[in-house]
Amino acid sequence: MRLRTSLVALAVALVSLATTSPNTRAITEPKSITSAAMPGAGPVPIADLFYTRTTGGGAWSPDGKEIVFISNFTGRLNLWKVNSAGGWPIQLTQSDDRQGGAVWSLDGKSILYESDRGGAELYDIYSIPADGGPAKNLTHTDDISETGALFSPDGKSLAIAYKPKVSSIVDIAIFDCASGAVRNLTQETSKDRVWTHPIWSPDGKYLYATRGNVRETDLSIYRIEAASGKKEELTPHEGESRFAAGALSPDGQRLLISADRPGGYPNVALLDISTRKSEWATDTQWDASPNYFSPDGSKFTYLINEDGRSDLYLADTATRRGQKLNFPPGLNVFAGNPSPFSPDGRSLLLRHQSSTEVTELWVYDIAAQRARQLSYSAVGSLLAARIPPSQIVHYKSFDGMVISAFLWVPFNLQRDGSNPAIVLPHGGPTGQTVDSFSRTVIALVSRGYIVIAPNVRGSTGYGLAFQNANVKDLGGGDLEDEVAGADFLIATGYVDAKKIGITGGSYGGYMTLMAIGKKPGVWAAAVEQYGIINWFTMLQHEDALLQEYEKSLLGDPEKDRAVYENASPIKYLRDAKAPLLVLQGENDIRVPKEEAEQVVAIYKEIGRPVDSHFYPQEGHGFAKRENQIDAITRMVAWFDRYLKGQQH
């Protein structure tokens, strides 16, 4: 019997029974939106937003006394460590390049991490003494990206993600710590398949991993012999379905997995490796994600993302019944590489952020059900700032499809139809706007712009059918969903229909270009960040893995040539009217600078107002603090000029 059939038929005690779902979202009455009074509210200084640090990662030391994490305290994403009981952090690395993926060696004497080169996404694995000292490049390859280092149980080997620069394939490889030799373990042959999330068995004989297509709509779990590379599929299925490995129990007998319930909604289950039978842990139509087992295996953790806000759960392994952690609403995630559990199993490492709170590390005491803040990233002026919070709204698009969106309304507005607004499409398109601390949003909303960020068709978080709803229709229905978001803003009574701008990065940049070209009457100004103008030229210049992703959305470039042409902004851009600012990293391998150069050339040809800035040694998005500040400053000045009539 196929695993999917047994999962569907299985009657079990469920950990989480959601009371809402994507199908129960109530439509928001636009006139119910209000602007709160807040005396003294004003623009948040852009510098304050970026001198407020970005904090990420997080990994317990083997003795539980220290935590290594990533911070841009100095304006660059480098490694820091802090006492797990609290205290002042210590900087471990100094580099202009972004770093991440930090993990401790089993003896606690060193820390491994990955580092990029000028935004080109060619990562090497480095080692640095845990007490500080010079870093050593372990992999030292100019044409291969190695990421996600995970120690074997004996500490002699690393499992890593292995991607040659010219290849679309991401394999799992074994790195021998003594010799430095790398052995490709999975040796994938299909260009549109990638291997992710390797997990060692307790005896080191096997690795469990997930093999899936580039768009992550069809995934399966495999067991791989570490010595030979022999593979065994644990979750065979027919048609598109998603099975992804999360963690292995300490006794090596069960996998904590994600699996689709009917309708294409990912849920958490426990897979018995010997019998191949699974027991559900959740039953929800929101995204449920598995996380990790406690050191003794008696508990496990998982997360539920409900409409862009996430809650954390701690479950009893025997009963699979979970309890939501006592934590504020927002975007909550488990930190910890590989585990959020402290070595003694008494605490959990978490990250929390919201629309008004920057990301911070927290340590959660399981017995006391209480958390304490570990990192402090916000500058004092930002803590005192008055920042309008996000709210979730729902509206119907042109065809009746319900769209969720985050909305931010400035303080002290009059409902007189005179205010400017910004539509903020997200990247991806296989992605989702979530309740995060957005410096872009805060810079705009604190300056009087109403901002809406729709989760249009093609977004994750609302089931597989919704995610697939823009395949071979990029810039079609999903663009109409963005326009419906602009219509919602006008219907609130606050917004002037002649003062609506649009901005986004990556696919959001693409959507910005499609919007101003295909719907020129809607937009009064635009800021396009590293967006696509021509899907054919993208295929010539972009990373090989992204080429496969593009084809998974648009089809074969020869057979489906009309699809590519109709989805390319270059077909419509000469009809654009909105003044346009273009921002681009020179080393971007995802959306190469040639795309931005074409945009600027067309705008100059048609004589529309255009300006551009290209950032050296930056890739897909801007990682250096001075460039982040410069980009937002240019954006605000552009919108102030063309939506407010102000000159800076």
pLDDT tens, position by position, 235-282: 999 989 999 999 999 999 999 999 999 989 999 999 999 999 999 999
CATH of the domain at 544: 3.40.50.1820
Q: Which residues span the domain enclosing 557?
A: 394-643
Residue 351 reports pLDDT greater than 70:
yes
pLDDT of residue 3: 35
**Percent of the chain, pLDDT > 70?**
97
Residue 613 lies in a domain: yes
pLDDT tens, position by position, 467-505: 999 999 999 999 999 999 999 999 999 999 999 999 999
Nearest to 524 by CA among 421, 381, 389: 421
Residue 206 lies in a domain: no
Distance CA 590, CA 552 (A): 15
**Percent of the chain, pLDDT > 90?**
92
pLDDT tens, position by position, 289-299: 999 999 999 99
pLDDT of residue 184: 96
pLDDT of residue 7: 33
Q: How confident is the model at residue 159 (pLDDT cuts 50, 70, 90)?
A: very high
pLDDT of residue 526: 98
Residue 463 lies in a domain: yes
The helix (run of H) or strand (run of E) holding residue 439 is: helix 439-445
Residue 450 lies in a domain: yes
pLDDT tens, position by position, 179-222: 999 999 999 999 999 999 999 999 999 999 999 999 999 999 99
Residue 169 reports pLDDT greater than 70:
yes
Number of domains in the chain: 1
- Average pLDDT in the 159-177 region? 96
Residue 1 reports pLDDT greater than 90:
no
- The structure tokens 């209480």 sit at 370
The helix (run of H) or strand (run of E) holding residue 361 is: strand 360-365
Residue 629 reports pLDDT greater than 70:
yes
Residue 382 lies in a domain: no
Residue 411 lies in a domain: yes
Residue 639 lies in a domain: yes
The conformation of residue 96, written as its DSSP 8-state character, comes to S
pLDDT of residue 381: 86
Residue 4 lies in a domain: no
The conformation of residue 234, written as its DSSP 8-state character, comes to S
pLDDT of residue 19: 58
Nearest to 139 by CA among 180, 92, 93, 200: 180
Contact indicator for 224, 185 with CB cutoff of 8 Å = yes
- Average pLDDT in the 521-535 region? 97
pLDDT tens, position by position, 636-648: 999 999 999 988 6
pLDDT of residue 119: 86
Q: How confident is the model at residue 383 (pLDDT cuts 50, 70, 90)?
A: confident
Contact indicator for 206, 183 with CB cutoff of 8 Å = no
DSSP 542-577: S-HHHHHHHHHHH--TTTTHHHHHHT-GGGTGGG--
